[in-house]
Structure 1
Amino acid sequence: MDAVYRRQRHFYDLTRKYYLLGRDPMIRDLAPPRGGSVLEIGCGTGRNLIAVGREWPAARLYGVDISQAMLDTAQVAVERVGMCSRMRLMQADACAFDPQALFGRASFDRVFISYALSMIPDWEAALAQAAKCVAPGGRLEVVDFGAQEELPVVWKRLLSGWLGRFHVTPRATLGQAMERAAREVGGLAHFRSLYRGYAVRGGLVRV
């Protein structure tokens, strides 16, 4: 992933903001408890965690990403906005990491994944790992590309070709995988289509 992002990281946020739809509504819905903990899996340039920090100024922020190049960019951004004391970023594989070893805590009040599962080969393992990181009473939230089932066939073909250039594959069975992940941790899942199937939003509440 460092090879993919070594150049892209410098203009990633500028280009992605036009088509990674649904990220900011998800962030506004996180609503962590005061002083609560928020973990982003696949935090990339830190754009989303910084937005969480601005929306929820009392939250403690954590992020993991497999790309050190992206984390380097994120750290610069975090320093620029003065959030170093509130945020910790670590390199880790989304499919298998030990939050206790990385951050000194086993679970988080809110965990979220924004447009990352579509880039992770073993995305179901990453989803299951994310669910395990949710504290009792906490939530996991996911937003990603959908199957574009209600959009014109030509649009779907063009978008799929474009996304393929960036190693992105929409996960058609994300809803079912979310249900399984919820059952494994004793949680309740939710899932819905956005923008006529362009994107999907899902998650779980751990009870």
Structure 2
Amino acid sequence: MYRRQRHFYDATRKFYLLGRDGLVRGLKPPPGGSVLEIGCGTGRNLIRIARAYPQARCYGLDVSEEMLVTARQAIARAGLSGRITLAQADATNFEPRALFGREDFDRVVISYALSMIPPWRAALARALAALAAGGSLHIVDFGDQAGLPQVFRAALDRWLALFQVTPRPELGEALAALCREAGASGRTTRLFRGYAVLAIATKP
């Protein structure tokens, strides 16, 4: 799908992938900390994270090699190749040690990717498992749109379906269950009248 879309992905998605920059502002990794983005796509978020937190080491994985080609080019243009490491991997079963030479991360980010991953619960569980002690998982994605007009919700669902995107209204419930199992704490916040949802889970 992204062989062609990657060339104009960022120019179009900025109008409706809302909440991404707020997520970046809330990361606040520790000095010298590590940040992993799962489903990093074109590298747009990783570049912003690296610029916002110059002491952090950033990592990204994506299942699409086409997207990673674009991400590597964008990261190189930004002069950040020395601080951002990319790898091709499946969000549901990646191994941090094999990909990046480390066991875990201080921050893990998933931005509008769970809605594109059919086994999204498995990806969510793997992301939580990749956190270091005291680390946090930050997710932004489409919400339930409960506060928006029905006609808008129906049109948005049809539009998203064209790109194989399925909102996950059960995200909060699924994250809460995983947090209970892991002894972690989690919270979700509805954004823009439910258009999007921000979820954060923190390991003790």
2:98 to 85, 98, 101: 101
Distance between the aligned counterparts of 1:157 and 1:187, measured in 2? 35
Residue identity over aligned pairs, in percent, reads 57
Tell me the residue number matched to 2:109: 112
Secondary structure of residue in 1 paired with 2:55 = coil
The amino acid that maps onto 2:20 is: R
CA RMSD of aligned residues (A): 0.6
The structural deviation recorded for 1:203 is: 1.7
User: Which residue in 1 is equivalent to 2:7?
Assistant: 10
Question: What is residue 126 of structure 1 aligned with on the other side?
Answer: 123
Which residue number in structure 2 is paired with residue 34 of structure 1? Answer: 31
Pairs within 5 Å for 1:134-173: 134-173=131-170
1:158 is paired with a residue of what secondary structure? Answer: helix
For normalisation by structure 1, the TM-score amounts to 0.97
Please report how far the alpha carbon of residue 112 of structure 1 lies from its aligned counterpart in structure 2 after TM superposition.
0.7
- Gapped regions of structure 2 (runs ≥ 5): none
SS in 1 for 2:41: coil
Distance in 2 between the 1:202 and 1:54 partners?
23
Give the alignment's TM-score, normalised by structure 2: 0.99
How big is each residue's C-alpha offset from its partner over 1:77-121, in whole Å with a ceiling of 9 and x where there is no partner? 111111111111000000111011111111100001000000000
State how far apart, in whole Å, the 1-side matches of 2:99 and 2:178 are.
23
SS of alignment partner, residue 73 of structure 2:
helix
**C-alpha distance in 2, partners of 1:184/1:11?**
40
What's the secondary structure of 2:90's corresponding residue? Answer: coil
CA deviation after TM superposition for structure 1 residue 185, in Å: 2.3
Deviations 1:121-155 (A, max 9, x none): 00000000000011000100000001111110100
Residue 181 of structure 1: how far off its partner (Å): 1.9
C-alpha displacement at 1:192, in angstroms?
1.4
| Deviation of the 1:6 alpha carbon | 0.2
Does 2:170 correspond to 1:182?
Answer: no
Gapped runs of 5+ residues in structure 1?
A: none
Structure 2 distance, partners of 1:185, 1:47, is 31
Q: Distance in 2 between matches of 1:170 and 1:81?
A: 32
Alignment of 1:46-65 (within 5 A): 46-65=43-62
AA matched with 1:149? A
Moved over 6 A (4+): none
How many positions carry a matched residue from both structures? 204
Partner secondary structure for residue 145 of structure 2: coil
